Chain A
Amino acid sequence: MNQEEISIIEITEIEAKNPIILCGLPDVGLVGVIAVSHIIKSLNMKEVAYIDSDLFPPIMVFHNGTPTYPLRIYQKEDIFAIFSEAALSPDSIYPLARSIVSWAKEKNTSLLISLGGIGTPNRIDIEVPKVYSASNMPSVKEIIKKYEIPIMEEGFMVGPYALIAKYSIQNNIPNLLLLAEAFPNYPDPGAAASIINTLNKFIPLNIDVKPLIEKSEEIRLSARELMKRTVESLKKMGKSQEYEVPLMYV
């Protein structure tokens, strides 16, 4: 499938009925990337597609001696997981978000979930990060209400998930944002564990976060470079605007 400069290449025949799509793109605290990576491993999901573009950095990742695309899509039954091992350049996120939403529409997704973080200045004093939610669809808001997930009432969002939310509105795709309190500039496996625990409430994933917590220090070490490049990229996207207050209703 081609959408402008982005290609989503399916490497196997994909069959799924109204799938749930989990999105783990590099953002605050790498929360989505860490959470989705743990979900992929825990569910033993299979790689079914990759995403390519000339707008992406000239990077390939080697795993077990095989060159691999940094942006990949995994599947297990009716659950897909989109995951990136490389930072996203500001110019690439517009066509990338459009392509993800368009692909989700093509697959008749029942829910496109963006997993991310909210930079929290006092994160050092928070033992279990809270997860906030937002959605464009009343039916998804019912899920939020039923499982008592706090709602992100007011604020700005900047970056790839903001665009996925925007294009989901335009394409009438049900999009749910789950955002955990997180360290803005450090990889945050604790925040990723909170996100997974929230997902476990309303999707029968039954993912154990204990191994994620136990490997927390190794993850924080290994994710340092990706975190550093992601912070540089988010600055260029104007991420600091998330700390501003919207004018309406003031």
Chain B
Amino acid sequence: MYEVNGMEFWTDESIWNYECGKLEPLYEIYESNGEIIIRMDLPCVQDKSDIKVNVTEYSVNIEAKMGRIIQYEKWGTFQRSIRFYKYSKTIRLPVRVDPKSAKARFKNGILEIRLTKKEQLFTIPIE
């Protein structure tokens, strides 16, 4: 990895795994009102039945099958025929969550997962 004018030009975190036909989805994660919200862009995934979401207290794992195989005849500088057929991503959560509280919806190719934070709340008296 190296930098030019503050920008990194090689990343170890490739979002294309051409050997396994797997893509890492673009995603965002943020906290709001006691919740962790994850949104993920899943183009070419047709139906919610093609998505599997597994949640623990510390992580979320997503596997999603594309509705069709995406084939690039001359992929990048490799110039090889490459096929992609699924997305896969495990996200380490910034705080503990209650897995039973998890809710997900899939709309226009975007997956949204909402998780309730599992935090103990203490109200302290002001002296």
Contacts and interface: CB of A to CB of B under 8 A. Distances in A.
Contact of A227 (B23, B26, B44, B70): B26
Contacts of A183: 41, 110
Contacts of A225: 15
Contacts of B9: 57-58
B110 A217 contact: no
A57 B5 CA distance: 8
B72 to A, nearest CB: 9
Interface in A204-239: 216-218, 220-221, 224-225, 227-229, 232-233, 236
Given A220-B109, A225-B15, A91 B5 contact: yes
Contacts of B26: 185-186, 224, 227-228
Given A124-B110, A220-B109, A221-B44, A57 B70 contact: no
B126 interface: no
Nearest to A217: B43
A55 interface: yes
Contacts of B8: 232
A221 B15 contact: no
B7 interface: yes
Nearest to B9: A57
A90 interface: yes
A9 B4 CA distance: 23
B39 interface: yes
Interface string B81-125: 000000000000000000000000001111010000000000000
A92 interface: yes
A124 B15 contact: no
A78 to B, nearest CB: 34
Interface string B19-35: 00001001110000000
Contacts of B44: 217, 221
Interface residues of A, number: 29
A89 B5 contact: yes
Contacts of A185: 26-28, 41
A55 B4 CA distance: 8
Contact of B39 (A89, A124, A217, A229): A124
Contacts of A232: 7-8
A87 interface: yes
Contacts of A236: 6-7
Contact of B4 (A58, A186, A217): A58
A86 B31 CA distance: 31
Nearest to B110: A124
B104 to A, nearest CB: 12
Nearest to A229: B7
Interface string A96-120: 0000000000000000000000000
A124 B108 contact: yes
B107 to A, nearest CB: 5
A22 to B, nearest CB: 25
Interface string B41-73: 101100000000000000000000000001000
A19 interface: no
Contacts of B109: 217, 220
B75 to A, nearest CB: 11
Interface of B: 4-9, 15, 23, 26-28, 39, 41, 43-44, 70, 107-110, 112
Given A87-B7, A90-B6, A91-B6, 9 more contacts: A89-B6, A186-B110, A217-B43, A217-B44, A217-B109, A220-B109, A221-B23, A224-B15, A232-B7
